[in-house]
Amino acid sequence: MKAGSNLEKVLTSGKFAVTGELGPPKGADVSVIERKANLLKGNVDAVNVTDNQTAIVRMSSIAVGAILQRMGIEATMQMVCRDRNRIAMQSDIFGAYALGLRNILCLSGDHQKFGNQPTAKNVFDLDSIQLIQTVKLMRDEHKVLGGDEIEGAPAMFIGAAENPFADPFEYRVIRLAKKVAAGVDFIQTQCIYDMAKFERFMQMVCDRGLHEKVHILAGVTPLKSVGMARYMKEKVAGMEVPEEIIARMKSAGKEKAREEGLNICAEQIQRLRQIEGVHGIHLMAIEWEDAVHGIVERAGLLPRPEVN
């Protein structure tokens, strides 16, 4: 065991993992976190806590992660390279570990142009792959960048994201291989709607033998409405939603749209489970946390395993 987190235990025992996601509040209100967290508890193996996603100021991912840990829910802290230099990042990783966090997801971060602080200065001292290397150095070699020994290594289970739908398509697998070479333990993908394209991606992953070196969790997001499907297709960077999905959401009509969204999601999970190299799903029910229990149950993934 590298970190001994629940997520690591589930994945290394060969069980099909389920992770969830929680977006911190745009303020200091803890009750929002507790409400969302209770909807996820028992339905997932770990919960990603986003780090100022889309560059909108929110409560810190480490603080929210610590609150989840206190509630008995395992957190995966997301850390983006946009806002902190290597000094702050390494310091925050020590602090996060001290607060009980055991999983970290290393990300570049959305450009601040999208958020509510578009006039900010960005950092990007490290990129996401270099952040993976840094966390691994701290964990395995007990050193910070530059070589100084550290007092107490932060044993983190190291994750990263991959968007199989970004371009250039044929380079995505090479970039994934770079993340593996940098020392990543698990990958969570961007939400997948175009199953055929994702299957092609996973074939390339398996051809390179990467599926044996890293745990890949396929991203899924249930659709609430045809409007959301169109928004994802047109507005979200690096997202592909096939026409067939949009047509299904449209023909469901307003009243049954959510039900159809859940059906599509459950079908996607079934199909994803058949793909070689997919070791779990990352379920991002954005502002729809009460759907998580139903989706995981429908997919036959309850109860979540207890691995010691």
Partner 1 sequence: MIIAEGKPIKDILAMIDDYDKIIVAGCKGCVTVCSAGGQKEVEILSSALRLARQTQGRPLQIKEVTLERQCDTEYLEPMREYADQYQAILSLACGAGIQFVAEKFRKQPVLPGVNTQFIGVTEEQGVWTERCQSCGNCLLHQTGGICPVTRCSKSLFNGPCGGSKAGKCEIDPQVDCGWQLIYERLKELGLLAKLEIVLPIKDWSTSRDGGPRKCIREDLKI
Q: Residues interacting with partner 1, by CB under 8 A?
A: 81-82, 86, 108-111, 113-114, 122, 124-130, 133-134, 145, 161-163, 166-168, 171, 174-175, 177-178, 181-182, 190, 237-238
The alpha carbon torsion through 21, 27, 29, 33 (nearest 10 deg) reads 0
Of 72 and 168, which has the nearer Cβ to partner 1?
A: 168
Closest approach of Cβ 214 to partner 1, in Å?
15
Give the chain's radius of gyration (CA, Å).
19
Of 94 and 114, which has the nearer Cβ to partner 1?
A: 114
Q: Which two tokens stand for residue 246?
A: 């949009």
Of 82 and 279, which has the nearer Cβ to partner 1?
A: 82
Closest approach of Cβ 237 to partner 1, in Å?
4
Closest approach of Cβ 112 to partner 1, in Å?
9
Terminal C-alpha separation, the chain:
11
Q: How far is CA 300 from CA 39, 47, 61, 304, in A?
A: 18, 19, 30, 10
Closest approach of Cβ 249 to partner 1, in Å?
22
Of 27 and 118, which has the nearer Cβ to partner 1?
A: 118
Strands (DSSP E) found in 50-185: 75-80, 103-107, 157-162
State how far the Cα of 248 lies from the Cα of 263, in Å rounded to an integer.
10
- C-beta of residue 218 within 8 angstroms of C-beta of residue 282: yes
Closest approach of Cβ 239 to partner 1, in Å?
9
Of 6 and 50, which has the nearer Cβ to partner 1?
A: 50
